Structure 1
Amino acid sequence: MAVRYNPNPARITEPLYKVEELEKSPLYTVLCGGKELTVYHTDSFDYVIPVVDDDSPLSFQVKVSKDFQKAVFRPAKTNVQAQISGRELSFQLEKPSKVTLELDGNLKTPLFILCTKRVPKPEKVDYLFESGKVYNVGTLEVKAEETVFLEEGSVVC
């Protein structure tokens, strides 16, 4: 069901449920700068969203719950090289970016690492998606001069 522009934005931004209710990855555990991040699971992939303040390099540790032999990062132009020790990978991103980790060429279990920069909340917000909540808006047509803001930790589908 597509949701078109609604003059009552509160209706569109009513959460379906809480982020804590989303399925977590059974395969991956991710640490960024030593801090554990939540890794979410879908039927097609797992993903993690590190939120950063600047373009500084990021150090990652990924723990995998099953054995693997080879790790490949995409896009290849990122040239990310991981150190592998047992079921753990350590690697660095020279700057925050979006990369995909594939283990043993298995396209059914990728890990998407989707780094994003923190954005301060504007004073005027027409559509607010609050942290810790999950929303399914379908299609949201935003008119000129309207502002949409996703707080860190919100999930919008």
Structure 2
Amino acid sequence: MSITVVGTPDGIVMIESGAKQVSEDSVVDAIEFAHTEIKKICAGITELVAKAGKPKREVKSVEFDQAYYDQLYAKVGDRLKDALDTHKHPKFESYALVKQIKDELKAALPADDATAPAKLLKYYESLRENIFRDQVTKDRVRPDRRQ
């Protein structure tokens, strides 16, 4: 039996296993043994963290500018949906249309704002991912055209 167990002191997160004709009890025993060892490893890590004495870094959460996102959606949302439709446009044509929309938005950015390109890219990619995800999860349309 080959088994990989991933977890925390509180529980098992993932198990991958490959075996031929192994009893269920043997698998359960292996998982329980692995969890016992995981607890020891986590305790060791906690001890090392305490010895290192480094405080946990504070990470500021990035504000999501919903108004900017909505404005971007209103401006190019429908065109982007159309461009991502691989039933209508072949794959590489779809890629080109998505890039063309992004390039048009970049060209319209104010030259005096140095943060505008990064902000546009962040929100444009978020919009593209959301539209793509909605096509798959809500509209049930797969990009590879399978049902």
Q: TM-score by structure 2 length?
A: 0.21
Relative to its length, the structure with more helix (as a share) is 2
TM-score, scaled to structure 1: 0.20
Say which structure is richer in strand: 1
Q: Which structure would you say has the larger Rg? A: 2
